[in-house]
Amino acid sequence: MDYSQFLALKQEIGLLIVFLLVFLYDTFCSPRSAKAVPMIATVLMGVLVAWGFCPVVKAPETAFAGMYVTSPVMVAIKNILNVGVFIVLIQSVKWANSEFTAVRRGEFYELILLTLLGMYLMISSRHFLMFIIGLETASLPLCALVAFDKHRYESHEAAIKYVLTAVFSSAILLMGLSFVYGLAGTLYYNGIAGALAGRMGVMLSVALAFVMAGFGFKLSLVPFHLWTADVYQGAPTSVTSYLSVISKGSAAFAFLVVLTQVFGQFYAQAWEWMLYALIILTITVGNLFAIRQTNMKRFLAFSSISQAGYIMLAIIGDNDMGVSALMFYTLVYVFSNLAAFGVIGAIENATGKVDMTDYNGLYKTNPRLSFTMMLAMFSLAGIPPFAGFFSKFFVFTAALNGTASAALYVLVLIALINTIISLYYYLLVVKAMFINESDSPIATFRSACSERLGMWICVAGIIGLGIVSYFYDYLLTVVA
Amino acid sequence: MDITLIWYLVPAIVMFCCGVYGFLTRRNMIAMLISLELMLNAVDINFVVFNRYLFPSSMEGWMFTLFGIAIAAAETALAIAIIINLFRVSKNIDVRDATKMKN
């Protein structure tokens, strides 16, 4: 065996080094210096982010007989995930050092880094065995993370719901893969595509439906979304933000790779209309349920369901522009959603309040937090000049790029109408903060230095991505 | 009488459907976990049988099954750990009662 092929796994090795350093420090440091674990993990992650931008991968490289592929596109999406994880780690420093969590704060960082490694593998794999290993490495530690607040009953309830649905969805996905294997005789992505050429049939339709259902659970697409709200509400806020952004972004990219590379030839016959139905249901149901939520975390759960529908719009066009639009959407979603979760987490850490009615009159007492939240809501709703407008714009363009299909125009029209519905509930939060009066608003407090830093990065991202076209241009050149 | 491919596929799919049925109807979390295990094992049977009857020249399906068994074991261990934690907090592992967050 040629061991030099391990060198193709540059980012995985970098992440593994970060993980090992954090793990060794957490294991062997004295109890007094354990308080530095969050800081060390964050700084090391920052180094990894910076290193990711060095252009070390210039052309596609493969390893393990083609089971693993890395290319500038893979590097770009992994960098986007890295940035997201970096912000999540910054925002979680105060929570990790709090009274109930301090005793096992190292585990939080180790598990987060391990799930990220799983997502790397899931994105880079070109063989379903590698893909399943990556998927499980990504989802199993997340179940443990959801149960992290051992003193809270809700955390356990959320964890049991998450682990049962995660295993159920992997079983369905695996059943679909076993049918695909029975038809094709191989598990390589390109091998399957070659063996299945022109062999559309009942068994393949069933297999494809199973695979899409499995991914639908991971991405919380309607009708596979029922776990989302409870898990988001019950999990610790740092874990919820990780789940909603990083986990979703990586699953969306892996879904894109599987659909285009394995089943690309059955686009018009099979998966276009399956995805079509999923998108309409996801965007509409997510929006309608978000309107009646009062808990902020539940509210963002339904908002993230409808955002997942918008991400799927980048896939349904089945073209190169969709890849860059999906990556850009993920990047913008990272900044917007993490800004919202940063504010929610800061308020929860200071006062323990997570209800929308608690936010009444927040502007009078905490103007900066309200302003950050407002920017996040504007970006999520897609108001120009903030980044969210452009991400939605590119996703719509990608869905219609080079097509004359009237059905896709109808789909984009429905998505547009839904954008207006979503504007209503995003502005409800803004209205609560700025207009509603309250007898007992949240008292003025100073959020921790780390939380402020995280929010500053998010605000810079929301505004910068909206007015600087460099980032999207860069993603376009990477894909082309 | 020859034992052909279909003799294995039918039990596998019956197992899978039993698993889905059990997962949707049983209310005890351990019973739900057993149903999930049935589903995962049905998948393993499928892979082994497809490999043995249709593609005996390679070992891809068998290798996949080995990894599948390991993953199923990890999932079960994790789920049991979470169920035990839940039991410690609430003295109850009936999913009908795990509805505190519904509103």
Query: Nearest-CA distance from A400 to chain B in Å?
Result: 38
Q: Which chain A residue's Cα is nearest to B16?
A: A175
Evaluate whether residue B103 is within a structural domain. no
For residue A346, the SS3 value is helix
Q: Is the pLDDT of residue A261 over 80?
A: yes
What is the count of structural domains for chain B? 1
Query: Nearest-CA distance from A168 to chain B in Å?
Result: 6
CATH code, domain carrying B49 = 1.10.287.3510
Q: Taking CA A402 as the corner, what is the angle to CA A400 and CA A404, rounded to the nearest 5 degrees?
A: 75
**Mutual orientation of helices A37-52 and A72-91 as an angle, nearest 10°?**
160
Q: Is the pLDDT of residue A368 over 90?
A: yes
Residue pointed to by tokens 């089945």: A318
Length in residues, chain A: 480
| B63 contacts in chain A (CB < 8 Å) | 129
pLDDT score of A296: 93
- Which residues have a Cβ under 8 Å from the Cβ of A30 and sit 6 or more positions away? none
Q: What domain range is B93 assigned to?
A: 5-97
Confidence of residue A177 (pLDDT cuts 50, 70, 90): very high
Evaluate whether residue B62 is within a structural domain. yes
Q: What percent of chain A has pLDDT over 90?
A: 76
Give me the residues paired with residue A355 across strands: A295
Interface A-B, measured as beta-carbon pairs within 8 A, has a size of 120
Mean pLDDT across A443-470: 92
Number of H helices, E strands in chain A: 21, 2
Please state the domain extents for chain A: 3-479
What is the pTM (predicted TM-score) of this model? 0.95
- A286: tokens are 């997510």
Evaluate whether residue B57 is within a structural domain. yes
Evaluate whether residue B81 is within a structural domain. yes
Evaluate whether residue B102 is within a structural domain. no
Q: Is the pLDDT of residue B92 over 90?
A: no
Q: Do B78 and A163 touch (CB under 8 A)?
A: yes
Query: Using CA of residue A308, residue A311, residue A317, residue A319, what is the dihedral sign?
Result: negative
Evaluate whether residue B18 is within a structural domain. yes
| A182 contacts in chain B (CB < 8 Å) | 46, 50, 54
Confidence of residue B103 (pLDDT cuts 50, 70, 90): low
- Tell me the C-alpha to C-alpha distance, in Å, between residue A474 and each of A322, A377, B62: 14, 26, 43
Mean pLDDT across B4-25: 95
pLDDT score of A262: 93
Q: Do A170 and B71 touch (CB under 8 A)?
A: yes
